[in-house]
Structure 1
Amino acid sequence: MTALRTVTSLDEIKSLTGADLGRTDWLEITQQRVNNFAGATGDHQWIHTDPERAAAGPFGAPIAHGYLTLSLVIPLFNDLLAVEGISMNINYGLDKVRFPSPVKVGAKIRLHGTVDSVEEVKANGVEMRLTFTIEVEGAEKPACVASAIYRHYA
């Protein structure tokens, strides 16, 4: 997917304050993705990696790791906003993250992003604060809600 919006300067980034960046396309969460994440992190808990045991468990199926869901914010965010013509973009961190609902293997997720604020910072940059919501197709509650901070420098 091509980014829904492109900005090419700090002034354009500043103009995004309060903007709804929209939603990405749906992304299916596969068992292979979950297994790969388990291998990368060493978190092989059965609710993630043992489909047979997980089917009889509390969620009725294996579920994605919460941190896997959170990690998908990065590539999905790139589908919402492209920042070009800037010397450096930094993922500055997170203020708050919650996982209100699990993501079962086979479910489809998408990212909804809003820009809460954009403030100038030292060294000719801006700090963008966003709210990211990972939605699960057909679910009442989101899988993840995160307050993220990015810095962009001219």
Structure 2
Amino acid sequence: MRPSMVREACRQSLADLKVDYVDLYLIHLPTSLIPEFPWPLRNQNIKWNEYYDDVDYLDTWKEMEALCHEGCCKAIGLSNFSQRQVERIMQHSSLPVAAIQVECNPYLTRSGLLDFCKANKIAFVAHSPLGSPGDGHG
């Protein structure tokens, strides 16, 4: 999520996919991890606070807006953001939030966020619609 890394990450994805642009590019989380985070996770008892990075997601969003203006993506959106965080983006954005992807299922309905998205013409994309493994519901 470091703003200085957004452009190169997008360009690498475009090269890997062998395309000139993507229809939708998302910020995956409102929190940022340092680039040295040990992916893939091998230790589930990881001390997450040791890997948090001090990045404002609004700065990342601004870099993604630039990618849209350059034609690298047609639209930009968010994943795993709260309504309050989406509202903050909307207040400072020159482009609309095209979509938000969040966990949504019968055990986690997100009806308030869904209503907010409908009112603001933001596509609402559910992940884990049958629940998540290990949450006691899936």
- Taking structure 1 as the reference length, the TM-score comes to 0.29
Instruction: Identify the structure with the greater strand proportion.
Output: 1
* Greater relative contact order structure (CA < 8 Å, 6+ sep): 1
- Taking structure 2 as the reference length, the TM-score comes to 0.31
